[in-house]
Amino acid sequence: MEIKSVGIVGAGQMGNGIAHVMALAGYDVLLNDINQDSLDAAMARIDKNMERQVSRSLISAEDKANGLLRIKTTLALPDLGQTDLVIEAAAEREEIKDKIFDTLLPHLQPHTILTSNTSSISITRLASRTDRPEKFMGFHFMNPVPLMKLVELIRGIATDEETYKACHDIVTRLDKTAASAEDFPAFIVNRILIPMINEACYTLYEGVGNVASIDNAMKLGANHPMGPLELADFIGLDTCLAIMNVLHEGLADTKYRPCPLLTKYVEAGWLGRKTKRGFYDYRGEAPVPTR
């Protein structure tokens, strides 16, 4: 099956990044959000990021112009029903994703493939609520989408081979690499990454080191490009906590217990870069550790 048009639900950091790469690869993109300001901000971000690629000679000015022309926006979720592939990139909460798919179902074409950019939630369970579990799979991009080369492809128990192959072909066309993951909590990347971040939170919580020493230790001692607490702020502490809860509930193993300090930061609304405060305070000229 040939995919020509892609509908994307959610114009946030992941959604606008997916729209960006899909448009540059020649797909017609319809980007949806519940808020017009979010759509306008997404288009401005895509324009800025494409311009950065032009300045680095990664794409031409013509590529940018054509890519932007391929992206349309809509506030009406049912409009996405006419696309060949839908990628849900909304908040990492299962009830929100279920509501999105429930709204979409009556408007879909028979051949439309449904996918979710979820970083941790069961694909089999999400698919079971739809009328096409065989045409449903996980399509997990890494952040920031235009830069990161990996896409996790997660088959639910009912996903058929044609659907998997169609999504794999898209990853290849995007010049990215597919990693096939089984449908277990948090898949591959976050199954390994988020518990590491959670352990860094425990290291801070127990007073083994402060924010700066923990991040510097991992950057200089393990050659990580970002420290784990800096990375947590970039991902969003609410997202990190949500994934740890999925791991804890889904695998019933105490080693996945979310750190109480991570929970406390989320309760305070200190979610990282997007709220200007997390493990670092971003309200000044340079980030300052909060502990």
Please state whether 46 falls in left (phi above 0), alpha (psi between -120 and 50) or beta.
alpha
Task: Indicate the annotated binding residues for NAD(+).
Answer: 10-15, 33, 92, 97, 119, 143, 274
Where are the domains positioned within the chain? 5-182, 191-289
β-strand partners of 288: 281
Q: What average pLDDT does the segment 14-24 reach?
A: 97
Q: What average pLDDT does the segment 71-80 reach?
A: 97
Q: Name the fold adopted by 191-289.
A: N-(1-d-carboxylethyl)-l-norvaline Dehydrogenase; domain 2 (1.10.1040)
The predicted pLDDT at position 93 comes to: 87
Distance linking the first and last C-alpha atoms of the chain: 53
Residues annotated as catalytic are 119, 140, 152, 190
Q: Name the fold adopted by 5-182.
A: Rossmann fold (3.40.50)
Residue 2: pLDDT band (50, 70, 90) is confident
Residue 231 token pair: 């990375």
State percent of the chain over pLDDT 90: 96
What is the side-by-side order of every strand in the sheet holding 71-74? Answer: 71-74, 28-32, 5-9, 85-88, 113-116, 136-141, 150-155, 177-181
Residue 119: pLDDT band (50, 70, 90) is confident
Q: What average pLDDT does the segment 12-25 reach?
A: 96
Fold: same for 5-182 and 191-289: no
pLDDT tens profile 249-281: 999 999 999 999 999 999 999 999 999 999 999
Q: What pTM was computed for the model?
A: 0.90
Residue 120: pLDDT band (50, 70, 90) is confident
Q: Is the pLDDT of residue 23 over 90?
A: yes
